[in-house]
Amino acid sequence: MEEKPSPRKPLIAYYIGSLILILLLNALVYPLLVRSRITEVDYSTFLRLVEEGRVRTVQLDSSGQEIMFSAVDSAGTEQVFVTGAMPDPELVHRLLASRSPVSFSKVTPQPHSPLLSLLVSWIVPILIFVGLGQLFSKQLQGRMRNTLAFGKSNARIYVKAQTGKTFADVAGQDEAKEALSEIVGFLHDPQRYTEIGAKLPKGALLVGPPGTGKTLLAQAVAGEANVPFFSISGSEFVEMFVGLGAAKVRDLFKQASEKAPCIVFIDEIDTIGKKRGDGGFAGNDEREQTLNQLLTEMDGFDSRKGVVLLAATNRPDALDPALLRPGRFDRRIPVELPDLSGRIAILEVHLAKVKTTGPIDLAAIARATAGASGADLANIVNEAALRAVRMGRDAVLQTDLEESVEVVIAGYQRKNATLSPKERQIVAYHEIGHAIVAAKQGHTAPVHKITIVPRTSGALGYTMQIEEADRHLISKEEAFARLATITGGRAAEELVFNTITTGAANDIEQATQIARAMVTRYGMSDRFGMMALESQTNPYLGGTTALTCSSETAALVDQEVMRLINKAHETAIAILKDNMHKLHELANQLLEKETISGDEFLRLLNA
């Protein structure tokens, strides 16, 4: 869209008004400013002051029509007065005969420089107003430019290799990098593909949970291919005026065609790519027009020119089917949470930018961060570096990384938290109950650490279990063992104190979620068997579940969930009753030390 010149009428009116204002200032205001401190009196007053001897100086102007004199008032303050000259031949004699000496003279006219007078009276004011006019003009043009730019895209354009990212900066996503490497190869050597008749995919959709590196992958593709990179968020297409989003789409693809070969990256494409017809708001017309324009542009541009469209989303189930068909987004590339080896590789990339000392066991940190994304791991490394600085060290230790893992999971230590001896005792037995039930079952992860140090997340203590390797399948026995471990804390409270507390609130929530999933999604209930009773949406955003059964069946589901939890709770009580001596011994040890490692716990338990 070409910019139109700003209208001149406002500036012309401004300059005419400025000229009139200068004339008025010269004619009216300037004389008033000059005479603001001079008092005008009549001639008789002047003569009276002369006779009283209060006049000090008298000056007759060059025209002989005005007398300016200074006199002392009744308070002794000297003031300047002016009066009109009268035909008085005796004036000189009166001044000489005054009681006090009077200095009197007549102003001799001196020629003024016409250039200086013109400069002071006209040129300087005009220049001031012209400068203000130019400033006003620039502001007006800026406003007009913003108005005319409503239909322009706000894409950030990075020139060749300016992203500074390559595939070497992306770790833990080998499958995604392999899928994107063909796009890089086509942009590097398109003839190799066109000779065999292959076409470059018009679009690739990066799908995965938040923080897995979708944007980083897109930047790495541009950096590897050494081509311009357009980056824009889906929300930037949505405007308050209908049609402007579609105009931005047209402008974006126009710019991309001019700079081909290039890569266009649309982040959070679900903002404009939602299924049409969802919702009943009139504002959806703008979103649907933007989506329709995007579909049209993707059909219209030729992939052989080297324009590749990359998009990222963590809500693929919400996208319009027309956007996902072949010929538009030809590839759907999963960018999942990294596995154990991927987490180790990501930690290596981030730790390479941090000073470390001593042995660093990346495998142990990676095992402790199962389910963490690349962004989570970067945050853990940064927390470790910050902790090293707080501790007065110039390098990161293994202990810094271990503590940063706990900070991300449970929050910082609450050093000023004060628990009563009774509360500390309850928390200690609660955590040891979890640990003993976990250790005495054959299908649970090993205990790594037990602590009763309160954390900012609200936890008064916790028991950390770490799997030896990533788990992709969970058996029915393992799921039930987790239920029993979770209920072990409440079981210990009941056995030792014969009461229950609110400390098991989070345990109850977790146990209910696991038991419900066993019944409704995993088919681990003898009563319902392999019957799907629940559906899940938005798997990359935590998952939203909804029952797909009747209300009568839902009531039976609740009963089955309660039965599983009660059975697990009874199992935990039975295990703790068989190990009451160890329960007391380990709880006292935990009260004394506040934190027990997994190895120390197992040694004491098996002693």
The one catalytic residue among 236, 268, 402, 431: 431
HEC string for 212-225: CCHHHHHHHHHHHH
Residue 465's DSSP bridge partners are: 447
Strand order in the sheet with 66-72: 39-40, 78-84, 66-72, 55-60, 103-106
CA distance 216 to 214: 5
Closest by CA position to 504, among listed 531, 485, 532, 522: 485
Q: Which helix (H) or strand (E) holds 302?
A: none
CA distance 60 to 83: 10
Tokens of 181: 């490497």
CA distance 128 to 119: 12
Closest by CA position to 70, among listed 31, 32, 38: 38
- Is 431 known to be catalytic? yes
Residue 451's DSSP bridge partners are: 462, 595
CA distance 429 to 449: 15
Contact 476, 524 (CB under 8 A): yes
> Going by DSSP bridges, is the β-strand pair 156-158/229-233 parallel, antiparallel, or unpaired?
antiparallel
Tokens of 62: 């060059």
User: What is the number of alpha carbons within 13 Å of residue 66 lying toward its C-beta?
Assistant: 11
Strand order in the sheet with 331-334: 156-158, 229-233, 262-267, 307-313, 203-207, 331-334
Q: Which helix (H) or strand (E) holds 550?
A: none
CA distance 484 to 416: 33
The SS3 assignment for 188 reads helix
The total of other beta-carbon atoms located within 10 Å of residue 461's CB is 25
Which residues are identified as catalytic?
431
